[in-house]
A and B are shown apart, each in its own frame.
Chain A
Amino acid sequence: MNLPAVKVIYLNEMRRFWNTLLQSLASPVISTALYFVVFGAAIGSRIEEIGGVSYGAFIVPGLMMLSLLTQSISNASFGIFFPKFTGTIYEIMSAPISFFEIVLGYVGAAATKSFIIGSIILLTASFFVELRIAHPWWMMLFFVLTCISFSLFGFIIGLWADNFEKLQLIPLLVITPLVFLGGSFYSIDMLPPLWQKITLFNPVVYLISGFRWSFFEVADVGVAWSLLMILVFLLTCLGLVWWMFKTGYKLKQ
């Protein structure tokens, strides 16, 4: 195992984060605060409790998921796309390093950033609403698994994309709609029966439901399903990255 390589990749990726720390942290804090002002205070005060949870608190897990998904994908995809774009990836491709170590460095850093941002959001939220976390370990598990698997997914997008448009395409056209329609801001029960069924095909529903359950013990689907879903997603992404490196997909001629 080439640990020094994993370390320098990881630290190098994190350096960008620290260099733009204010930017990196200010935007999630401000947007979270805005969501709370709009949904929590202005609109939320007119919405009744969901499963005994105030609307303001109810949206916290969804809000965190929204940021985790978008941040993980954008950080990880940019992290690997940029060296590909500038050509500096030649160094990584010619180094004595395995695909797993490359992934560990890049995805590890992207996941760490998401984790930090998610924690900041949680902290910010706790100033606006009264939060309780019924199952802290489950919460941590979902939190960490989401950071890792969506950073992996972003990494794949970064490998696949050969221009900036493609880099933006999936987050914009796929992820954002799935998150908004995945019950970030409402419970599935609130939908008409047909839509409830359709929504179950949205994998993000399982994520948000499981995560929310770990806070408030209210869930749209069973927590085991949520866990299974995220593990399947994680392994699929891992398999895909492995295949990409094995075949040299868009990395080697």
Chain B
Amino acid sequence: MSTILSVKNLSKTYDSGHQALTNINLDICQGEIIALLGPNGAGKTTLISTICGLVSPTSGTVTVDGHDIITHYRQTRELIGLVPQELTLGAFDKVWDTVNFSRGLFGMAPDPEYLTQLLKDLSLHDKRDSMLMTLSGGMKRRVLIAKALSHQPRVLFLDEPTAGVDVELRKDMWQIVEKLRASGVTIILTTHYIEEAEEIADRVGVIAGGELLLVEDKSALMEKLGKKQLRIDLRETITEVPASLAEFNLSLSDDGTSVTYTYDTRGERTGITTLLKAINDAGLGLADLQTSQSSLEDIFVNLVHTES
């Protein structure tokens, strides 16, 4: 797959002195869906805004379809659609007028047929003559999406598209994304919901404190996230794990009073039953059992730790 978007050594320090992005490197392939996952203040919006031309980079380069976003901004921006995080819409414009405005702004000749279909797809058609300020939050979000798609972009940025929207719209949104993917549009979305990334993304980038900590295929990341740990406290202290338990890859605690077993919750079988039986057969007594799952937070913490 060819690269559509390439971010190289990108850093951003705001005038306030706050460094919001530190040396970001990211290549995005044509047609893929990538989710940028990170807590509030991680720098997700800053990254997107820089690529779209709303924030000037402090250093580094970004190219879209091979064109530099600063020297060839016309070529790059024509390819990009942006759905901002905030519901920024004029109050007195009508839905139909505002999507036509967006299309023109991006240099495209009017195309009422395409825009009518777009509004229908987004369940906005019967609101086409409504004034924007009369719309609900969810409807406004749809209008922002319609505006971003009005010029048929090849790359779509969705900045927290489902933050604070109802379940129905979230489902719709995922469907829309699926449809866009089928038509070959590359999608970059930010979220702090792991399920959202899981549902729709091909790859997931984890960003925290302005650093892109990792970018992995969704399945690889989910495997990490899907892992659970079972801690088994023993009645007696042991110095090493008995050879008969070698296949379970147990890790022994420093004080020798407990072992930890890692398993995949989504596997067909967890292996817990056989493990417990094997421990019993090895003549070890169980004092207590405890399971824990690494949350997204844990992963962030881990990643930040290993980075530094």
State the A residues within 8 Å of B (CB): 2-5, 7-9, 12, 15-16, 82-83, 86-88, 90-98, 248, 252-253
Are A8's CB and B100's CB within 8 A?
A: yes
Asked, given contacts A91-B147, A253-B15, whether A9 binds B88 with beta carbons under 8 Å apart, the answer is: no
Q: How far is the CA of A96 from the CA of B69 in the complex (A)?
A: 10
- Chain B contributes a number of interface residues (CB within 8 A of A) equal to 36
Q: Which 4 A-B pairs have the closest CB atoms?
A: A8-B104, A87-B88, A96-B77, A96-B74
Q: What are 26 A-B pairs at a CB distance below 8 A?
A: A2-B107, A3-B107, A4-B109, A8-B101, A8-B105, A12-B97, A86-B88, A86-B89, A86-B90, A87-B84, A88-B88, A88-B90, A90-B82, A90-B84, A90-B88, A93-B54, A94-B54, A94-B80, A95-B107, A96-B73, A96-B74, A96-B107, A97-B105, A252-B54, A252-B56, A253-B15
Are A90's CB and B73's CB within 8 A?
A: no
Chain B 65-107 per-residue mask, 1 if CB under 8 angstroms from chain A, else 0? 0000000011111101010101011111100010011111111
Are B102's CB and A91's CB within 8 A?
A: yes
Asked, given contacts A7-B104, A87-B86, A94-B82, whether A2 binds B74 with beta carbons under 8 Å apart, the answer is: yes
Interface centre among B97, B104, B109 (most CB of A within 10 A): B104
Q: How far is the CA of A43 from the CA of B107 in the complex (A)?
A: 55
Number of A-B contacts (CB under 8 A): 79
Within 8 Å CB of A248, what residues of B? 56
Given contact pairs A5-B106, A91-B102, enumerate 5 new A-B contacts (beta carbons under 8 Å). A15-B97, A86-B90, A93-B54, A94-B80, A253-B56
Interface of A is mostly: helix
Are B107's CB and A253's CB within 8 A?
A: no
Q: How far is the CA of A133 from the CA of B89 in the complex (A)?
A: 47
CB distance from A228 to the nearest CB of B (A): 36
Are B53's CB and A94's CB within 8 A?
A: yes
Are A5's CB and B104's CB within 8 A?
A: yes
Q: How far is the CA of A45 from the CA of B189 in the complex (A)?
A: 72
Interface centre among B55, B56, B105 (most CB of A within 10 A): B105
Within 8 Å CB of B106, what residues of A? 5, 95-96
> Quick one: closest B residue to A19, CB to CB?
B92
Q: How far is the CA of A4 from the CA of B54 in the complex (A)?
A: 21
- B52 in contact (CB, < 8 A): yes
CB distance from A83 to the nearest CB of B (A): 7
Are B54's CB and A90's CB within 8 A?
A: yes
Within 8 Å CB of A5, what residues of B? 104-107
Within 8 Å CB of A88, what residues of B? 88-90
Are B105's CB and A95's CB within 8 A?
A: yes
Q: How far is the CA of A90 from the CA of B97 in the complex (A)?
A: 17
- B108 in contact (CB, < 8 A): yes
Q: How far is the CA of A165 from the CA of B142 in the complex (A)?
A: 34
> Quick one: closest B residue to A87, CB to CB?
B88
CB distance from A109 to the nearest CB of B (A): 13
CB distance from B247 to the nearest CB of A (A): 56
Are B55's CB and A252's CB within 8 A?
A: yes
- B114 in contact (CB, < 8 A): no
Q: How far is the CA of A92 from the CA of B109 in the complex (A)?
A: 17
Interface centre among A8, A87, A90 (most CB of B within 10 A): A8
Q: Which of A16, A92, A252 contacts B105 (CB 8 A)?
A: A92
Are A4's CB and B14's CB within 8 A?
A: no
Q: How far is the CA of A82 from the CA of B14 in the complex (A)?
A: 24
Within 8 Å CB of A12, what residues of B? 93, 97, 101
CB distance from A80 to the nearest CB of B (A): 13
Are A95's CB and B77's CB within 8 A?
A: yes
Are A253's CB and B55's CB within 8 A?
A: yes
Within 8 Å CB of B97, what residues of A? 12, 15
